[in-house]
Structure 1
Amino acid sequence: MLSGPLWERCQAIVQDIDIGSTHQPESTLNIAQWTSHSVLDLSGLAVFGQEPGWLARYPDLPASLERRVATGHIRKIVLAIFPQPIRSLLLSSLFRVQELADLRRIQQVVRDLACIERQKIIKTNNNNKQSQNTECEDPPPPPPLNIISAMLQSADSSLSEEEVIGHILIFLVGASETTSASFQWMIIELCKHPNVQTRLREEVQSHWPSLSLSLSSANTTPTKPPPLFSAIKSLPYLRAVVDEVLRLHPAVVLTEHEATQQTTISGTLIPKGTLLLSPPLATNLNPRLWGDDAAVFNPGRFLLDNMNHGALGDESGRLRCANMTFSHGPRSCPGQSVARLMLACLTAGFVHSWEVSLRDPGQSYVPAEAVYARPMPDLMVTLKKVLE
């Protein structure tokens, strides 16, 4: 599904960063602005199968998404503090006009893109029928595989069109905003730990020729996994760095669930309607699960040599719920695979092309008080082209 095209687009975005004159040895980049637009561009490819530059057709979409994230933060505060009757009143009044306008605009874009993908599927099906009628030996290629096409073509799907649109919104907003925040934290950690950046660059460069060749020309079949997944698995240190950044910097700082019926948790009575709050960092930084260095950036903890596999553990040998960045169970984040893949691709391409350092090494960065915990203030870095 997310094979060569996603990889190629990632590399094009990274290599096309404008640093001004080619005679300048280095330049400054606002990673926050660059990442937000770039990841949304990639989400269009992964979710909708769009071509590069698709955002130009919807120039107001990024601003609408940005405001939705900002008002989402207010909603979280209201849900966490106020009782149910007041919650409903506040949520129906705060930012109502602008919020509804933004939501309508986002839904309009999603419906438009869904219509485009549906037309692609119809055209391909018609071509297939024509080829069968003419007994053509070489059938036309299958339609572009992406999340929306998989939903639209699912033979046993019972989802209504509105439900499909809802799921697409989750993928588009969730995968793009969370990946944008995670990549910014990735850059901060690589800047603070130049030894990690150097080791990661060496691994990526050592695999680069075969990596690029296999991904740009590989064919995926229903019985063969996308080569991009296999390629990422061949880079253990890249996977370890991605896992460690996601553990230390969960993009969603708080999730909430409302009890639909009375229940108990560890012997504590939970009445129906109780709002349950779950901060991922409470688990992700627990020394009982991660050791005394739980709060330290240490990708090595995810390498095979340092793992202690157990029957109840995940790949890191810890309990499967030791990392709650994407939550677990039936309500875990549906876009986590897309987010992980985009983060890994962007990181590999970035360290291959650029040496990156903080413009102000003394600047402190804290999670923004929003739905997605991106670094604040905006991340400014110095880039230096890597000589190949």
Structure 2
Amino acid sequence: MASQLPVKVVFVSLLEAAVSFHLFPNVFSARSFTGAFVVYSVINWSIYALYIVVIYPFFLSPLRHLPKPSGSWGPIIAHGPIMFSRPPGEAHLKMMKDCPDAGLIHFRSFFHVDRLLLASPAAIADVLVHKTYDFEKTPWIRAFLKQFLGDGLLTTEGEEHKHQRKHIMPAFSFRHIKELYPVFWSKSLELCDVVKAEMAEKMNDVLELNHFATQVTMDIIGLAGLGRDIGSLRNSEDELISTYEEILEPTSEKGIYFVMHLLFPPRFIKMLPWKLNERTRITTGSLKRICTEFVQEKKARMKTESEEQIDILSILLRSNTFSDQGMVDQLLTFLAAGHETTSSAFTWASHLLAINPSVQTRLRAEIHEAISSPKWILTDKVDLAALLESLPYLNAVCNETLRLFPTIPVSARIAVRNTTISSQHVPAGTLCFIVPWAINRNPALWGPDAGEFRPERWIDQETGRANGIGSAESNYAFLTFLHGPRSCIGERFARAELRALLAVFCGSFEMSMADPKEVVRAGGTITSKPINGMKLRLKPVDW
């Protein structure tokens, strides 16, 4: 196998040097064993480089006959630069359009290293469901994420991941999420009150929404996840919010920092005189300190609290499954993934409504018709979960937003053993790309209007009710939350939270872009966020 060859090259060079130097001293001109080894190493490494760059990829690779996209940057470079492309996933979408009938697309990275792009539901199902443990998250991505998330659910693999997921799953059950709807709704109302107060204080109807989206989703995960009101909406200088905003701000420097972790060992990057290294150390240290304090505080409070506490942290602590450090790692994961997923989705949904006023008007009409008063709905007589989940257009707008702007636009898995995808042999070590941004927008799966914001695709035209797969023919055409054992464990949580936020905000404000001519661009490293924030013009409406 190609990945074993470097060791063989060194061994063969040593053997050749020993044989020629000791058995044929008159034939070989080197005066020392070291000299012989250097000469043979140069020869063998040159042959190895030729094998890796030319012979294996073009003549021996079992993937060489698969469909290939156009647009290569030339020899050696090949399609390597797509890792720098923005928005993340757009280059992969172009590949799918170049090969519309392909289930697997073969392309080559730097030095012609094989890469696979999964483009069909069957291929995606194999990797995510049928053979999920033949593939793992890449070690370098996991090492990068561990800086911020510790050894939580998102960074573990194998038996450890199975163990963690099994014991965390009860906290995200349908029954538990249903009980959290009032938390989502009350914090959504608080968001609107804070926004109105901000507009009145500054006498300005233009607002940068992304910051408030981060605050409200952090408050929600605080209450629902920790049983603790973090109060970010009431405290604009909150340390937790400022830390996450610094980490997740989509800058070019952070994009380079992320790519560097794909190319070089973390130890090498930490040695560089790079200010971002120091900022990363400070921000990750702050997060771990805050989460440690949260866990210690919660354990102390649980001694006097009722067993009826429904927040996620209480459920996990009562399970007695995780150590204190393990709880900190899970908390780091919940805070990051739990607030960022919905924060980004809510920001993008507001943008899409702002540039599609007819959709916004129709959604507001549905909300006002179903809910006469946003505060009345919190009474015990109303099943809030059932009501919001029954609104077809609200759910259609949420689904369409999540389709067009998946929080994690590009994901990858590496084959940990020789396996197959759609009957195609895939050697161990092959990197396979699963790209929600591309799959969710692929015209071959969603039709010619795949790139358009059209919530109606999620509503059955005959019954008027929401459908589960939109206009696609397979649920694997929608990858925002992935599928299978490695799917997003918080999908129900994120969907419920987004329903509540969007219903309250659209019911309370008429939205338009502060600059109607602005072209909003998606950026970020791991997640997808608007590069320059989201500036909206808001007008309160009667409810």
TM-score band w.r.t. shorter chain:
0.7 to 0.9
Shift of 1:75: 5.6
Q: Using a 3 Å threshold, how does the CA distance of structure 1 residues 266 and 87 change in structure 2: closer, same or farther?
A: farther
The equivalent residue for 1:223 is none
- Please report how far the alpha carbon of residue 37 of structure 1 lies from its aligned counterpart in structure 2 after TM superposition: 2.0
Partners of 1:191 and 1:254 in 2: how far apart? 26
Task: Give deviations 1:159-203, integer Å, cap 9, x for gaps.
Answer: 333333222222210121222211111111101111110111011
User: Could you say if the C-alpha distance between residues 145 and 248 of structure 1 is closer, same or farther in structure 2, counting changes exceeding 3 Å?
Assistant: same
- Corresponding residue for residue 367 of structure 1: 522
2:352 corresponds to 1:174? no
Q: 1:244 to 1:58 in 2, by over 3 A?
A: same
Query: 1-side partners of 2:270 and 2:517: how far apart?
Result: 43
Structure 2 CA distance for partners of 1:307 and 1:177, relative to 1, 3 Å: farther
**1: CA distance, partners of 2:270 / 2:462:** 51
The corresponding residue for 2:116 is none
Percent identity, please. 28
Equivalent residues in 2 for 1:320-331 (5 A)?
320-331=475-486
Aligned residue in 1 for 2:218: 40
**2:414–2:432 contact (8 Å) kept in structure 1:** yes
What is the CA-CA distance between 1:358 and the residue it aligns to? 0.6
Deviation at 1:296, TM superposition (A): 0.9
Contact 2:439 2:479 in 1 (8 A): yes
Distance in structure 1 (CA, Å) of the matches to 2:246 and 2:237: 15
Aligned counterpart, 1:65: 244
Cα deviation 1:40-74 (Å, max 9, x = unaligned): 22221221121262685983222322343358744
Q: Is the 8 A contact 1:19 1:28 kept in 2?
A: no
Structure 2 residue ranges without an equivalent (≥5)? 1-178
Distance in 2 (alpha carbons) for counterparts of 1:307 and 1:113: 47
Which piece of structure 1 moves more, 205-214 or 228-237? 205-214
CA distance in 2, matches of 1:23, 1:68: 28
SS in 1 for 2:480: coil
**Matched residue of 1:3: which SS?**
helix
Give secondary structure in 1 for the equivalent of 2:537: strand
> What is the TM-score normalised by the length of structure 2?
0.59
Question: Following the alignment from structure 2 to structure 1, what is the Cα–Cα distance between the partners of residues 321 and 376?
Answer: 39
Residues 97 and 274 of structure 1, relative CA distance in 2, 3 Å threshold? farther
Paired with 2:374 and 2:424, the residues of 1 have a C-alpha distance of 52
Deviations 1:234-273 (A, max 9, x none): 2111011000000011121111223333323234444434
For normalisation by structure 1, the TM-score amounts to 0.81
Pick closer, same or farther for the CA change 1:232–1:308 going to 2, 3 Å: closer
Note the C-alpha offset of 1:145: 0.9
Alpha-carbon shift at residue 93 of structure 1 (Å): 4.0
Of 231, 243, 248, the match for 2:387: 231
Distance, in Å, in 2 between the alignment partners of 1:23 and 1:105 is: 31
Do structure 1's residue 121 and structure 2's residue 302 form an aligned pair? yes
Q: Is 2:407 the counterpart of 1:251?
A: yes
Q: CA deviation at 1:349?
A: 0.8
Letter in 2 for 1:345: A
1:2 Cα deviation (Å)?
Answer: 0.9
| 2-structure distance, mates of 1:144, 1:203 | 34
Q: Residues 265-284 of structure 1: matches in 2 within 5 Å?
A: 265-284=421-440
Structure 1 pair 21–11 and aligned structure 2 pair: CA distance change class (3 A): closer
Q: 1:109 aligns with which of 290, 304, 318?
A: 290
The residue type paired with residue 238 of structure 1 is L
Gaps of 5+ in 1: 126-141, 220-226
Task: Name the CA shift for 1:308/1:383 in 2 (closer, same or farther; >3 Å).
Answer: closer
Given candidates 130, 134, 151, the residue that maps to 2:316 is: 151
For 1:248 and 1:211, the matched residues in 2 are separated by 28
Q: CA deviation at 1:20?
A: 3.8
CA distance in 1: counterparts of 2:424 and 2:390, whole angstroms = 45
Does the Cα contact within 8 Å between 2:371 and 2:377 map onto a contact in 1? no
RMSD between aligned residues: 3.0
Distance 1:308 1:41 in 2: 35
Q: CA deviation at 1:384?
A: 0.8
Higher relative contact order (CA 8 A, sep 6+): 1
Per the TM alignment, residue 365 of structure 1 is displaced from its structure 2 partner at its CA by 0.5
Residue 372 of structure 2 aligns to a residue whose secondary structure is: helix
Please state if 1:298 is matched with 2:454.
yes
Residue identity matched to 1:349: V
Are 1:179 and 1:343, in contact at CA under 8 Å, matched by a contact in 2?
Answer: yes
Q: Where does residue 349 of structure 2 map in the other structure?
A: 186
Preserved contact between residue 3 and residue 215 of structure 1 (Cα < 8 Å): no
Distance across 2 between alignment mates of 1:373 and 1:148: 27
Q: Hey, what's the Cα distance between the residues in 2 that align with 1:374 and 1:363? A: 15
Report the 3-state secondary structure (helix = DSSP H, G, I; strand = E; otherwise coil) of the residue aligned with 1:123: coil
Give the Cα separation in 2 of the matches to 1:266 and 1:189: 36
Does residue 343 of structure 1 match 2:498?
yes
